[in-house]
Chain A
Amino acid sequence: MAYSPHTAADHERMLAAIGVDSIEGLFADIPPAVRAERFAVPPPLTEQEVRAEVTRLAYRNALPRVSFLGAGAYRHLVPAVVGEVIGRAEFATAYTPYQPEVSQGTLQSIYEFQSMVCELTGMEVASASHYDGATATAEAALMACRLTRRERIAVSSAVGPQTRAVLRTYCSGPGIEIVEVGADLAESGSGLTPVERAAATLDDTVACLVVQQPNFFGGIEPMRELVDAAHDAGAQLVVLVEPTSLAVLEAPGAYGADIVTAEGQPLGIPLSYGGPYVGLMAARMASVRQMPGRLVGATRDGAGRKGYVLTLQAREQHIRREKAASNICTNQALCALAATAYLAAVGPAGLREVAELSMLQARHLAAALEAAGLGVRRFSAPYFAEVAISVTDAARVHAALAERGIVAGYPLWDEYPELADTLLLAATELTTDAEIAELVAALGEVAV
Chain B
Amino acid sequence: MSVAERSGTAAADASGRGAAFASPAPAEELIVVEPLIFAASSPGRRGVRFPSATDTARHAASGQPDVPADARRGAAPRLPEVSELDLLRHFNRLSQLNHAIDLGFYPLGSCTMKYNPKVNEWAASRTGFAASHPLDPAACAQGSIELEWLLAELLREISGFAAVSLQPAAGAHGELTGMLMTRAYHRSRGEGQTRTRVLVPDSAHGTNPATATMVGYETVTIRSNERGGIDLEALREALNERTAALMITNPSTLGIFEDQIDQVLAAVRQAGAIAYMDGANLNAILGRFRPGEAGFDVMHFNLHKTFSTPHGGGGPGAGPVGVSERLAPFLPGPLPILVEGDPEEVRRNAWAGRTTPRARFALEDPATRPESIGRVRAFTGNFGMFVRAYTYIRSNGDAGLRAVSEDAVLAANYLRVRLADAYDLPYDRICKHEVVFSGRRQKRQHRVTTLDIAKAILDHGIHPPTIYFPLIVEEALMVEPTETESIETLDRFVDVMHGIAEQAAADPEALKRAPTTTPVGRLDEAGAARRPDLRFDFGTAAPGAEASASTETGAE
Contact = CB atoms under 8 A, between A and B. Distances in A.
B261 A34 contact: yes
A44 B414 contact: no
A225 B447 CA distance: 61
Contacts of A109: 91, 94, 313
Contacts of B136: 63-64, 67, 69, 407
Given A63-B131, A174-B216, A305-B30, A89 B172 contact: no
Contacts of A188: none
B191 interface: no
Which 8 pairs, one residue from A and one from B, show the smallest C-beta to C-beta distance? A274-B379, A304-B25, A58-B128, A44-B397, A334-B312, A274-B134, A60-B143, A276-B316
B396 interface: yes
Interface stretch (B267-275, B437-445, B498-506, B525-533): B525-533
Nearest to A139: B214
A5 B486 contact: yes
Contacts of B485: 5
Contacts of A18: 410, 413-414, 416-417
B16 interface: no
Interface string A92-106: 111111011111111
B395 A104 contact: no
A33 interface: yes
A340 B106 CA distance: 26
A11 B70 CA distance: 71
B212 to A, nearest CB: 7
Nearest to B27: A300
B414 A17 contact: yes
Contacts of A321: 206, 209-210, 219
A313 B532 CA distance: 12
Contacts of A382: 65-68, 71
Contacts of A334: 310, 312-313, 315-316
Contacts of A231: none
B116 to A, nearest CB: 5
Interface in B73-105: 73-74, 76-82, 84, 87-88, 90-92, 94-103
Contact of B528 (A134, A270, A297, A384): A297
Contact of B463 (A95, A111, A351): A95
A210 to B, nearest CB: 15
Interface in B410-428: 410-411, 413-414, 416-418
Interface in B99-158: 99-103, 106, 108, 111, 113-117, 119, 121-124, 126-137, 139-144, 146-147, 154, 157-158
Contacts of A288: 532, 534
Contact of A220 (B24, B71, B78, B82): B71
A300 B129 contact: no
B450 interface: no
Interface in B400-417: 400-404, 406-407, 409-411, 413-414, 416-417
A23 B92 CA distance: 43
B128 A75 contact: no
B340 interface: no
A275 B25 contact: no
Interface string A358-373: 0111011011100100
A1 B403 contact: yes
A31 B261 contact: yes
A48 to B, nearest CB: 10
Contacts of B160: 36
A341 B486 CA distance: 35
A45 B391 CA distance: 9
B56 A353 contact: no
B475 interface: no
Contact of A251 (B73, B417, B532): B73
B210 A303 contact: no
Given A43-B398, A44-B395, A363-B60, A23 B409 contact: yes
Nearest to A130: B169
Given A305-B521, A353-B555, A275 B417 contact: no
A174 to B, nearest CB: 5
A330 B172 contact: yes
B287 to A, nearest CB: 4
Contact of A335 (B289, B316, B379, B547): B316
A87 B484 CA distance: 21
B115 A166 contact: no
B172 A327 contact: yes
B185 interface: no
A64 B136 CA distance: 8
Given A135-B376, A348-B81, A317 B210 contact: yes
A4 B47 contact: no
Nearest to B40: A344
Interface in A356-407: 356-357, 359-361, 363-364, 366-368, 371, 380-384, 399, 402, 407
Nearest to A127: B534
A380 B68 CA distance: 13
A174 B217 CA distance: 9
B551 A350 contact: no
Given A14-B487, A69-B135, A106-B313, A223 B528 contact: no
B454 A99 contact: yes
B77 A247 contact: yes
Nearest to B410: A14
B48 interface: yes
Given A63-B128, A302-B521, A13 B487 contact: yes
A227 interface: no
A67 B136 CA distance: 9
B430 to A, nearest CB: 6
Interface stretch (B237-245, B321-329, B381-389): B381-389
A34 B275 CA distance: 15
B339 interface: no
Contact of B377 (A26, A132, A320): A132
24 contacts: A1-B404, A27-B409, A36-B293, A44-B395, A56-B355, A59-B143, A61-B142, A81-B48, A81-B84, A88-B92, A92-B310, A101-B520, A119-B538, A120-B79, A135-B378, A272-B383, A277-B378, A297-B532, A304-B25, A322-B212, A332-B314, A347-B47, A356-B552, A363-B551
Contacts of B207: 317-318, 327, 329
A13 B502 CA distance: 25
A163 to B, nearest CB: 7
Contact of B98 (A94, A295, A296, A399): A94
B64 interface: yes
B170 A131 contact: yes
A300 B134 CA distance: 43
A209 B290 CA distance: 45
Contacts of A169: 180, 332, 373-376
B171 interface: yes
A70 to B, nearest CB: 9
Contacts of A81: 47-48, 84, 87-88
Given A44-B396, A54-B126, A343-B80, 10 more contacts: A6-B410, A26-B410, A38-B157, A39-B290, A60-B128, A73-B133, A85-B88, A97-B314, A334-B316, A407-B137
Contact of B398 (A39, A94, A101, A118): A39
Contacts of A39: 157-158, 286-287, 290, 398, 401-402
B210 A85 contact: no
A118 B407 contact: no
A40 interface: yes
A55 B147 CA distance: 11
A331 interface: yes
A199 B196 CA distance: 36
A114 B175 CA distance: 27
Contacts of A95: 106, 108, 111, 113, 311, 313-314, 463
Interface string A120-143: 100011101101111100000000
Given A104-B33, A168-B374, A299 B523 contact: yes
